[in-house]
Structure 1
């Protein structure tokens, strides 16, 4: 009986070594893909959102609710982070992220070339604007051009304000009509109250917000525009100094799309996914 003797094969050893190395690399890549990105507070995604802006973001008792909180809770789970919402007035959101007080903006923030010079965007839906007026007032503006010489309320810092200024310059002034008088308020409800108090003649508001406002006002206000005005792309905002978080957020959004979570949420809030062309147009000169 002959004793069994192990034989050494250099080729077999090389193949085994390469295979083992590849497995280690793949495992490392998988771990990196699932590892939570660095944030201000370890294990937490600090989210800046103006929680006075239903249906996008508002407080339901003590709980943030609406499209943005729902979206960010799902996104945060894919990032392996706990969502922490910081109620921040709209005009202070970009200041907050660049001052490192928040990790990300999720607050129906319209994508504009000017804003894209200050922060990076992850576009995630599109919407438009609407005009509101007092029911029975006799003033029923359908387009921005109908606002010449009128007082118009708006949430402070809204992207449509410079667009209204352009209409005022290009249309009103050219026709010899008075300018559009835009009056800015800290919150959308305050802008609506100004309209109810006859302090302004109309309100310009996001279409989904306008619909909710009209429903709550019991017939006192009406949407007078017939098509979405100044259609816009909405994006999550990330600091330009935080490319790791930006990449992680994009990856988490891709996962939401693959899992069907994204489409379900957009349908629930009657908004749509922007096309690549719409995103490029929204970014404009900043792209």
Structure 2
């Protein structure tokens, strides 16, 4: 029997190889590279230090990239443009403290990897000390543009504040968290609504001029990596890399360094607006 493959078999093998190559090419925009959209103005999650990306997300993506055998590169992008950017193929994924919500899950595919929440920040010389969102009626509240809690504040303003005869919440958005903090110091707003880890960093850097008034997490959230809707190839590679990262122990060490937590399956289901397994 001849060892030479038949023409039909050769064509089949060539087609399978071409299909596999196309599948791999679809995963990332450039071979062996993982381009990452991130708002590098958001310490401790992502920021520039001596001109280079630093913080939890760059460190996390550096470790994840090693397990995926891909070289991470960061594309500094303002937060409000991240989802649009990944869907427009400006980069492969978003790693920028992006909260998982049902609305965003309709636009991108998520790999949830962190759990956080929000805090309320006020000037240290102000007697106003809000503890919960319901304390914000009639107040000027500053946030980073596109923050996931802004729609919640809008609903709260209508359904709680105005429904109970109180003044509405005056919600104001800023391009970056540092700009919102400057607005707070300048008395252009009364409160800054901010991610808890970010709020702690801002407070520390401003040497006590701003203080955290809330003492528990507000609107607990799950944070996820986001890829273009339908990019199953990359999402699968990310899941495999993430599993390897956890198995190595590096992920748990990194969480401890930043005082963050891994979301549970129930946390993820709630973030996506899905019934938990216990409720089914």
CA distance in 1, matches of 2:215, 2:61: 31
Q: CA deviation at 1:285?
A: 5.4
Say whether 1:220 aligns with 2:209: yes
Q: Which residue of 2 aligns with 1:79?
A: 68
**Could you tell me whether the CA contact under 8 Å between 1:48 and 1:104 is conserved in 2?**
yes
Where 1:225 maps in the other structure, the secondary structure is coil
Equivalent positions of 1:112-123 (< 5 A) are 112-123=101-112
Q: Which residue of 1 aligns with 2:14?
A: none
Q: Deviations over 1:60-108 (max 9, x none)?
A: 1121000000000111111111111000000000000000111010000
Q: Which residue of 2 aligns with 1:181?
A: 170
Match of 2:83 among 77, 94, 99: 94
Equivalent positions of 1:82-161 (< 5 A) are 82-161=71-150
Match of 1:54 among 43, 49, 52: 43
**Could you tell me whether the CA contact under 8 Å between 2:162 and 2:168 is conserved in 1?**
yes
Equivalent positions of 1:1-287 (< 5 A) are 38-284=27-273
CA gap 1:229/1:257 in 2 versus in 1, 3 angstroms: same
**Could you tell me whether the CA contact under 8 Å between 1:36 and 1:79 is conserved in 2?**
no
Where 1:152 maps in the other structure, the secondary structure is strand
TM-score (norm 2): 0.88
**Could you tell me whether the CA contact under 8 Å between 1:130 and 1:229 is conserved in 2?**
yes
Q: CA deviation at 1:121?
A: 0.3
**Could you tell me whether the CA contact under 8 Å between 2:269 and 2:275 is conserved in 1?**
no
Q: Specify every segment of 5 or more residues in structure 1 that has no aligned partner in the other structure, as ranges.
A: 1-31
CA distance in 1, matches of 2:230, 2:165: 47
CA distance in 1, matches of 2:140, 2:177: 16
Off by >3 Å, runs of 4+ in structure 1:
35-38
Q: Which residue of 1 aligns with 2:11?
A: none
CA distance in 1, matches of 2:77, 2:156: 30
Which of these two proteins has the greater Rg computed from alpha carbons?
1
TM-score (norm 1): 0.86
Q: CA deviation at 1:38?
A: 3.3
Q: CA deviation at 1:223?
A: 0.2
Where 1:194 maps in the other structure, the secondary structure is helix
**Could you tell me whether the CA contact under 8 Å between 1:54 and 1:209 is conserved in 2?**
yes
Where 1:227 maps in the other structure, the secondary structure is coil
Q: Specify every segment of 5 or more residues in structure 2 that has no aligned partner in the other structure, as ranges.
A: 1-20
**Could you tell me whether the CA contact under 8 Å between 2:132 and 2:218 is conserved in 1?**
yes
Where 1:174 maps in the other structure, the secondary structure is helix
Where 2:27 maps in the other structure, the secondary structure is coil
How many residues align? The count is 256
**Could you tell me whether the CA contact under 8 Å between 2:113 and 2:225 is conserved in 1?**
yes
CA distance in 1, matches of 2:47, 2:136: 29
**Could you tell me whether the CA contact under 8 Å between 2:137 and 2:157 is conserved in 1?**
yes
- Mean CA deviation greater in 74-83 or 199-208: 74-83
